[in-house]
Chain A
Amino acid sequence: MVKMKNIFSIILLLVVCLSGFAQNDKYSIGERTADNLHVKKFQVTESNIEYVLTTPYVDTSYKIYDYAELLTETQRYEIKQRCREFMKNTGLDIAIVTINENPKPSFNDYAPSDVYIQDFYDYNDFKEDGVMLIIDKFYDRNRYYDAGLAAEMTLLGDRVENYAEHMKPLYQAGDYYGEIMWFIDKTEAVYQYEISFPKWKCLIFALIFAWIVWWFHRKKYKLIFKATSANDYKKEGSFELTKSSTKYVRSFTTKTYSPPSKSSGGSGHGSSGGSHSGGGF
């Protein structure tokens, strides 16, 4: 009887484990292998193949990938609906990911989340233009990513601090749903602003354009210049170099503070060139 209980317990444990595993892997639509990497947007080379293989291959229609299980089923549903709305309103793709373990344990990158967020977006079949948020419970921080048009518009790039300021309190309070919704709302609002109000950008361009044209045109009004050389009056062939020497004197080394770009994790191994990642808190 005891034996039966033990067997039952083991089976139950296996079921729980498998179901848990299945829960975490429910977004996956296949395994990446060296023969079938499932990468469409970027060329896979020797330098980035390891990054591809350690990136989950997911169904991009989910939009919310709650690996850390920070959200309820209802919340995930609502976020997914909101993501679809966001896509409809902006034309951008979106992905929200939560993790609670080191996503790239085999790499010694200084910022695994930064690498992961780019790889997750770029090596799956998300649209070229889009944004992504990762809530990283392992490193206890958030990361943002924008790609394609969103990156060109610096949709997130210049606003990271502003995002962090509003999202951190929600994160600290454990209101991940609120945090995600705020991210989507804010990004959509920013996009709408950028698209709807390019006038000030046009005006700045117009002012610079006008000044350059005006300046070049004005130059045409000054035709008097002091002569400083007699090159027109050189006696042909009269120049003679009587002595010429070049001597090495010394060397010096300068050192400038120039930290690697936060997006170097992505661009270093072949991900999107037109993208920004990093920031958060």
Chain B
Amino acid sequence: MDTTVLKCPGCGSSLPYNAEKGLWVCETCGAEFSQEEILKMTETKSDADIDINKSEYKEDTTPDPDQPELNLYRCQNCGAEMVTDENTSSTFCVYCGSTGILKSRLEGKFRPKYVIPFSKTKQQAIKAYNGLRRKRFLAPKEFGDRKNIEKITGVYIPFWLYDGFSDGYVDGERLVLAKTWREGDYKYTKTDVYHEHRAGHESFEKVPADGSEKFDDNLMDSIEPFKFDELVPFNYSYLSGFLAEKYDVSAEDDEGRATLRMNNSLKQSLCSTIDGTLTSSQEDIKCKIDNVDYVLLPVWTLNTFIKDKTYTFAMNGQTGKIVGDIPIDKLKSFLFFLGMIAVGFGIAAFFAWLFD
């Protein structure tokens, strides 16, 4: 199994990608390398020679049916052993911090076509996470555990991007209040019923669906949108300094999520041409997928363990949008409710006094 480590050609230290500068910056000597320089180096020289050192390591294949499938690699920088699961394609050495890129997991059908490089740094991710906490004072104390926050990790998550074309129609009845009148003790309302039919089609580009079982689909949906005009052709060097996953949900298996979204959008577009809302409707909308691209998208993730429950937070590594369901401390919540009762009582008493 191959691993590669991006190293500084000057001093041999790790050369991670710096999201803030958009450059590769040596952690030891501070040398900076642009995308062009990195690409030039990787084009002109073999991975093993200078920049991306390549070594062969034997995989520990001792089977254990009770354990998840883990693979053992040796860090070619310091010699320590690295353990990854079957879907990790870029990881860190826990001893020297070097990035180990498992090239074999990024080749062939697993080679992404595009990648969006990280634009948000770890410090920005921590700041965003702390921002979540500041506005939500009912969160438990553990939510702000500094040691845990430091574990926030940049991960390239595999996504499928679908280009598609939805076509179909919406049928339904629309009610229009015609007139009302009164006769004695009764009120009469006349309602007109109209049959509405709308047919049409619409195209969509790069509708994302994450291709990883490990990450919750709704969590990944929530960090959208990504700015896909910043997609660049994939290069291993972008993974330096970050974790990366390879897909374990195929494009065919994920297609349903994307087509459902496209069809819903077409339905909304069709319904927006109707003056009013349909009380009952039926539709027949079909979606044809024209193209699918496999890409890696940047996400900062953090798992927080509070009272035996794991809460996962994710931040879009490109736009900075942070999401996650924040736990609520029951005692704080109860005290807050009591406090609001006191405030409400005060307001009511003030107005009672004012209008007395």
Contacts and interface: CB of A to CB of B under 8 A. Distances in A.
Interface in B159-207: 169, 173-174, 178, 182, 185-207
A218 B188 CA distance: 43
Interface stretch (A157-165, A167-175, A184-192, A202-210): A202-210
Contact of B202 (A239, A257, A259): A239
Given A222-B325, A224-B323, A258-B186, A198 B265 contact: no
Contacts of B194: 246-249
Given A221-B138, A223-B323, A226-B221, A258 B185 contact: yes
A214 B262 CA distance: 36
A229 B270 CA distance: 13
A106 interface: no
A173 to B, nearest CB: 34
Nearest to B269: A239
- Secondary structure class of chain A's binding surface, majority of residues: mixed
Contacts of A250: 192-193
Nearest to A259: B185
Interface string B235-275: 00000000000000000000000101110111011100100
A243 interface: yes
B344 A210 contact: yes
A238 B266 CA distance: 11
B337 interface: yes
Interface in A209-234: 209-211, 213-214, 217-218, 220-234
Contacts of A222: 325-326
Given A231-B265, A249-B173, A243 B199 contact: yes
Contacts of A217: 138, 336
B185 A257 contact: yes
Contacts of A45: none
B342 A206 contact: yes
A245 B324 contact: no
B32 interface: no
Contacts of A213: 340, 343-344
B216 interface: yes
B328 interface: yes
B345 interface: yes
A201 B348 contact: yes
A221 B328 contact: yes
B200 A240 contact: yes
B188 A223 contact: no
A74 interface: no
Contacts of B205: 233-235
Contacts of A235: 202-205
A224 B345 contact: no
A249 B193 CA distance: 6
B186 A225 contact: no
- How many A residues are at the interface, by size bracket? 35 or more
Nearest to B349: A202
- Secondary structure class of chain B's binding surface, majority of residues: mixed
Nearest to A218: B328
Given A241-B198, A253-B188, A224 B218 contact: yes
Interface in A74-120: none
A217 B187 CA distance: 42
B345 to A, nearest CB: 4
B341 interface: yes
Contacts of A202: 345, 348-349, 352
A239 B198 CA distance: 12
Contacts of B258: 230
A225 B324 CA distance: 9
Contact of B268 (A203, A229, A249): A229
Contacts of B38: none
Nearest to B347: A209
Nearest to B339: A210
B356 interface: yes
Contacts of A254: 188-189, 191
B185 to A, nearest CB: 4
B219 interface: yes
Nearest to A208: B344
A72 interface: no
Contacts of B265: 229-231, 234
Nearest to B193: A249
A242 interface: yes
Contacts of B326: 221-223
B164 to A, nearest CB: 8
B88 to A, nearest CB: 24
Given A221-B136, A222-B325, A206 B341 contact: yes
Contact of A243 (B173, B198, B264): B198
Nearest to B274: A246
B135 interface: yes
A232 B205 CA distance: 9
A201 B174 CA distance: 43
Contacts of A221: 136, 138-139, 325-328
Contacts of B225: 232-233
A230 B262 contact: yes
26 contacts: A209-B340, A210-B344, A213-B343, A218-B138, A220-B136, A223-B326, A224-B218, A224-B324, A225-B218, A225-B222, A226-B218, A238-B202, A239-B201, A241-B200, A243-B198, A246-B194, A246-B195, A246-B196, A247-B195, A249-B194, A250-B193, A253-B189, A253-B190, A255-B187, A257-B186, A258-B185
Please list the 3 inter-chain residue pairs (A to B) with the smallest Cβ-Cβ separation, ordered nearest first: A209-B344, A206-B344, A210-B340
Given A224-B323, A235-B205, A249-B194, 10 more contacts: A202-B349, A203-B348, A208-B344, A209-B347, A214-B333, A225-B222, A230-B261, A249-B193, A253-B189, A254-B191
